[in-house]
Amino acid sequence: MKQQLLELFRKRFACHLFQADRPINSSDLNYILEAGRLSPSSFGLEQWKFVVCTAPADKEALQAACFQQPQVGTAAAVVVILAKLAEMEPDSEYLRRLLAREYPGDQFAGALKNYRGFHAATDVKAWSVTQCHIAAANMMTAATAAGLDSCAIGGFDPAALRRLLDIDPARHEPALILAFGYCAGESGPKLRLPLEELVEYR
């Protein structure tokens, strides 16, 4: 199992052009979304929302908001990950419901007090966006396991994306866009720095 997981990491690459006429079946798409749903999150708050676009017109509009990157328009499915903002407020119904789930009974009051202090001292928008990146990584690995290719897209115009998807800026912040499908070309060699250049033991 350990080697199988590493092989998925070695196999995954950023696809920059997909086979535009080759769709993804719904079971594979749901598998990818389920991998995102099951991802870990700070305080167990599941800071993400997934907006799935498969219609050609929607993908074309998304491509325009992503500086015309071709992987967006040619992907079989594009998932826009939105980071929750208003729901991260300490007094929101959502926050209290999920926090009570993670810290039940007598634990809840202390957990809420701790969260209030964290919330006051934190750039909540940036924090919520980074949580979404955890789900994104798992979704791309799941896509590889399903025999699909993917590309993470952080280059987009947030204002254009908000207009296109009718996003309330008080509720959600665009975090990342994921393109899924079947690559139109071959993957190159995996290029990564050696582990000894990245790790320091203390």
pLDDT tens, residue by residue, 28-52: 999 999 999 999 999 999 999 999 9
Q: What is the spatial distance between Cα 192 and Cα 116, in angstroms, rounded to a whole number?
A: 40
pLDDT reading at 188 higher than 90 = no
If you search the block for the tokens 């800026």, which residue do you land on? 169
Spell out the domain ranges in the chain.
Answer: 2-95+124-198
How many residues comprise the chain?
202
Q: What is the spatial distance between Cα 172 and Cα 94, in angstroms, rounded to a whole number?
A: 14
> In DSSP terms, which residues pair with 150 in a beta bridge?
14, 180
Percent over 70 (pLDDT), the chain = 100
**Alpha-carbon distances of 99 from 8, 112, 125, 173, rounded to whole Å:** 33, 7, 18, 21
The 10 Å Cβ neighbour count of residue 16 is 15
For 2-95+124-198, the fitting CATH number among 3.40.109.10, 3.40.50.1400, 3.30.420.40, 3.40.50.300 is: 3.40.109.10
Kindly report whether the global pTM for this prediction surpasses the value 0.85. yes
Quote the mean pLDDT of the chain.
Answer: 97
- Residues 157-184: what's their mean pLDDT? 97
Q: Is the dihedral of CA 161, 46, 130, 24 positive or negative?
A: negative
